[in-house]
């Protein structure tokens, strides 16, 4: 029997059963590392590893032929030199997180537009104040930077909530989900930003996306714009964003990702005006549906792998996602 290691703390008994049944059909014996993660010392035996991204694991996995990351972001493990040979396949779990992250984006967007952080602080202090100015997703102009699963799932929800216009902005011109009214490429971003009221950033971390929301681009946003980032903190010039927020040149932001994580207690982001911070939880694996999708995706690709078919969630290591 061929060897498969499954190392993901969020898996429940039913997921392990599902993986065991699939693995056995495919000629694999799965070893589960749920309470204690797979260590590099144990990694050398495995042909297939389904785990959180880890440079150490991959470096130690000298029999590895396929590493499936149970996270979507794999920027930490695209370095070719980590892999014992260039033919080792790398897949990610992009596609499992669209639902939960789209619900997060919907929530924080409404919270910013309806001034919930102020309202909750009033409530904490038992002050009964009205909210001076509320806004709506209905009728708003939204730009979604990154039109993958997360961006698309959010775009569909925003459409259903009555957004007036939803622009997708992506790396290359390709057909997108019909929830996007228009699709632009990254080099057209400067034309889109001045008309953007709600900017949603759902990008992988690559050379091309690092710093994509630069100081100059933040300056192109209108005064009523809000910025939501659920991709990677590196996509934003964080210093410039803090300045724009503190000087009220934009209306608000919600960051689930930032640099660094966890955020040190003395970091100026904590004191930035109109900023809603969450500790990188938008895509966490406590949502049962997210875990179910993650496991389904792995199992389908395990069937593909065993029968010599192309893997559905293959990462291009040079491109970075």
Instruction: Measure the CA–CA gap between 312 and 15, rounded to whole angstroms.
Output: 20
- Of the candidates 17, 15, 18, 11, the one whose C-alpha atom is nearest the C-alpha of residue 33 is 11
Ranges within 279-298 binding its own copies (CB under 8 A): 279, 281, 284, 286-289
277 binds its own copies (CB under 8 A): yes
Nearer to its own copies, 92 or 272 (CB): 272
CB 312, min distance to its own copies, A: 22
Task: Report the nearest approach of its own copies to the CB of residue 61 (Å).
Answer: 27
Q: Which of 2, 59, 156, 171 binds its own copies (CB under 8 A)?
A: 156
In order of 49, 50, 208, 262, the CA distances from 81 in angstroms are: 18, 20, 21, 28
**Given the complex with its own copies, which of 160 and 207 has the nearer CB atom?**
160
Query: To 5 degrees, how large is the angle CA 6–CA 101–CA 293?
Result: 35
Instruction: Count interface residues toward its own copies (CB under 8 A).
Output: 48
Place of tokens 């009964």: 128
Q: Contact region for its own copies (CB under 8 A) — 27-35, 205-213, 258-266, 306-314?
A: 258-266
Q: Name the one range near its own copies by CB under 8 A: 52-60, 78-86, 126-134, 295-303.
A: 126-134
State the distance between the two ends of the chain, measured CA to CA, in whole angstroms: 31
Contacts of 48 (CB under 8 A, 6+ apart): 2, 3, 4, 5, 28, 64, 65, 66, 67, 68, 302, 305
Least spacing, CB of residue 311 vs its own copies, in Å: 26
Active-site annotation holder among 2, 280, 300, 303: 280
Least Cα distance to 10 among 51, 53, 68, 54 occurs for: 51
Q: Using the rule CB under 8 A, is 34 a contact of its own copies?
A: no
**Among positions 162, 173, 210, 268, the unique one binding its own copies when judged by CB under 8 A:** 162
Backbone φ and ψ of 39, nearest 5°: -100, 155
Interface with its own copies, residue 217, by CB under 8 A: no
Q: Does 130 bind its own copies (CB under 8 A)?
A: yes
Identify the residue among 22, 78, 91, 106 touching its own copies (CB under 8 A): 106
The closest alpha carbon to 154, from 191, 202, 217, belongs to 202
247: Cβ–Cβ under 8 A, 6 or more apart, which residues? none
Q: Which residues contact 192 (CB under 8 A, 6 or more apart)?
A: 143, 167, 169, 184
Largest CA distance in the chain: 66
261 is annotated as an active-site residue: yes
What size, in residues, is the chain? 321
Contact status: 138 vs its own copies (CB under 8 A): yes
- Contact between 165 and its own copies (CB under 8 A)? no
Smallest gap from Cβ 279 to its own copies, in A, equals: 5
Interface residue with its own copies among 1, 24, 45, 123 (CB under 8 A) is: 123
Catalytic residue among 232, 293, 313, 317: 232
At a CB cut-off of 8 Å and minimum separation 6, what does 138 contact?
161, 162, 163
Instruction: Scan residues 41-100 and list those touching its own copies (CB under 8 A).
Output: 99-100
Q: Is 103 a catalytic residue?
A: no
Residue 232 annotated in active site: yes
Name the catalytic one among 14, 261, 289, 319.
261
Where in the sequence numbering do the catalytic residues fall? 232, 261, 280
Contact positions vs its own copies (CB under 8 A): 99-100, 103-104, 106-107, 110-111, 113-114, 116-117, 119-120, 122-123, 126, 128-139, 156-157, 160-162, 261-263, 265, 270, 277-279, 281, 284, 286-289
């Amino acid at each position: 029997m061929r060897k498969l290691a499954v190392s993901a703390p969020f898996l429940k008994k039913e997921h392990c059963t599902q993986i065991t049944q699939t693995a056995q059909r495919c000629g694999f014996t799965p070893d589960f590392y749920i309470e204690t993660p797979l260590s590099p010392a144990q990694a050398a035996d495995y042909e297939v590893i389904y785990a959180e991204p880890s440079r150490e694991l991959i470096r130690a996995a000298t029999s590895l032929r396929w590493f499936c990351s149970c996270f979507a972001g794999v920027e930490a493990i695209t370095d070719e030199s980590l892999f014992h040979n260039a033919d080792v396949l790398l897949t990610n779990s992009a596609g499992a997180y669209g639902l939960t992250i789209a619900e997060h984006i919907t929530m924080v967007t409404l919270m910013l537009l309806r001034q919930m952080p102020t309202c909750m602080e009033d409530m904490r202090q038992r002050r009964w104040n009205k909210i001076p100015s509320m806004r709506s997703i209905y009728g708003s102009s939204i730009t979604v930077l990154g039109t993958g699963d997360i961006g698309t799932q959010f775009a569909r929800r925003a459409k259903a909530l009555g957004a007036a216009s939803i622009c997708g902005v992506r790396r290359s011109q390709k057909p997108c989900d019909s929830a996007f009214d228009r699709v632009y490429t990254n080099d057209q971003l400067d034309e889109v930003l001045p008309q953007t009221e709600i900017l949603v950033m759902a990008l992988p971390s690559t050379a091309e996306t690092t710093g994509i929301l630069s100081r100059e681009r933040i300056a192109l946003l209108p005064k009523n714009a809000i910025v939501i980032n659920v991709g990677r903190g590196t996509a934003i010039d964080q210093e410039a964003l803090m300045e724009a927020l503190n000087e009220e040149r934009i209306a608000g932001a919600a960051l689930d990702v930032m640099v660094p994580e966890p955020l040190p207690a003395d970091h100026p982001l904590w004191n930035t005006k109109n900023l809603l911070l969450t500790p990188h939880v938008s895509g966490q694996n406590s949502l049962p549906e997210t875990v179910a999708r993650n496991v389904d995706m792995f199992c389908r690709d395990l069937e593909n792998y065993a029968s010599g078919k192309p893997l559905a969630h293959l990462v291009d290591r040079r491109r970075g996602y």
